[in-house]
Amino acid sequence: MPVPPAFVLLEIAIEPKSKEDQEKLGVGLTRLISEDPSFVVRVDAESGQTIVAGSSEQLLDAKIGVLKHVYGVDLNVGAPQVAYRETLGRRAEVEYTHKRIVAGGIGEFARVKLVFEPGEPNSGAVAESRAEAAPLTFVVGALRGVEAAAQDGLIAGFPVIDFEAILTDVVYHDLDSSALTFEIAARGAFKKLREEGAPILLEPVMRVEVLTPDEYMGDVIGDLNSRRGQVQGAETRGKAQMVTAFVPLASMFGYFNTLRSFSQGRADFSMAYSHYAPIPRFAEPDPDFSPAIGMRLRA
């Protein structure tokens, strides 16, 4: 089952200011996508906004700069939003029946039984069938339904990752069942995981390395701790110290300017994606909590 690329860690909403800008935006985005596969573009289904996504704030700022200065697009640009993910907190066995009468007395029917298991970190999302003697077209429809529902999320609209879905049984009707009815039934089964799967919200965590003169060591560690960082240690590099920490990406916005400011420009850093981890409030699953998620535009 496909999942969003691991390098998509940040998203920014962009909006052209005129019809002319809309046309130039399309040309610019097409060119940027062809040049850099790590640059992702999508249209938000609810707001209709164009969303650009990638691995870092610096990457997206650079791409937006190209759109403005090379392609001449006048844009409203949103604040960066972290690309959170969701996963399951516990095993769940779910049964769901889709049944209704449509126009002309024609019926729709499908019943599915699925077992959902949390997976190991970075294991991806796997859907398979162990339903014996089930017509292949119905199995394909059910697995397609799981895949689509996983992209919609359970608690905050983010894709669900690192789980296994096993289709264990189907019940069908010779006239009223189809691939579509089984896709609908599987979507319904997946939604029941909001209550039965103890979903957890995950955030990307970065491995951060800071090279700093000795005199700023305390400031560096204190600042990383204030950003919910977990300092792993430090080692001497010539006349400087290399501090290594794991820090949530959401806490790293503006870090470059802060570091340069308190070190008088003498410290530098690098960071790379490490893993997804539960947001602290979700360390103990809390399916009733849903964070406010939105794309805020700025001129």
Angle between helices 57-69 and 19-35 (to 10 degrees): 130
Supply the pLDDT for residue 55. Answer: 85
Same domain for 193 and 102, yes or no, is yes
Residue ranges of the chain with per-residue pLDDT less than 70 = 1-7, 281-299
Structural domain ending residue among the three candidates 198, 223, 244: 198
Beta strands at 125-129 and 163-171: parallel, antiparallel or unpaired:
parallel
Give domain status of residue 118, yes or no. Answer: yes
CATH number reported for the structural domain that contains residue 266 in this entry: 3.30.70.240
Same domain for 76 and 106, yes or no, is no
Give domain status of residue 290, yes or no. Answer: no
One-letter amino acid identity for 263? Answer: S
Same domain for 191 and 216, yes or no, is no
Are 3 and 125 in contact, with CB atoms under 8 Å apart?
yes
> 167: which 2 tokens?
């289709």
CATH number reported for the structural domain that contains residue 63 in this entry: 3.30.70.870
Domain count, the chain: 3
Give domain status of residue 218, yes or no. Answer: yes
Supply the pLDDT for residue 1. Answer: 44
Give domain status of residue 284, yes or no. Answer: no
Same domain for 114 and 148, yes or no, is yes
pLDDT digits (tens, 9 = 90+) for 109-126: 999 999 999 998 888 899
Supply the pLDDT for residue 147. Answer: 95
Give domain status of residue 245, yes or no. Answer: yes
Domain of 61 in residue numbering reads as 10-83
Same domain for 190 and 110, yes or no, is yes
Structural domain ending residue among the three candidates 198, 231, 257: 198
Are 137 and 179 in contact, with CB atoms under 8 Å apart?
yes
Supply the pLDDT for residue 46. Answer: 76
Same domain for 94 and 147, yes or no, is yes
Give domain status of residue 286, yes or no. Answer: no
Give domain status of residue 2, yes or no. Answer: no
| pTM of the shown model | 0.79
Same domain for 107 and 44, yes or no, is no
Supply the pLDDT for residue 282. Answer: 52
Within 8 A by CB and 6+ apart from 190, the residues are 94, 114, 145, 146, 149, 150, 154, 165
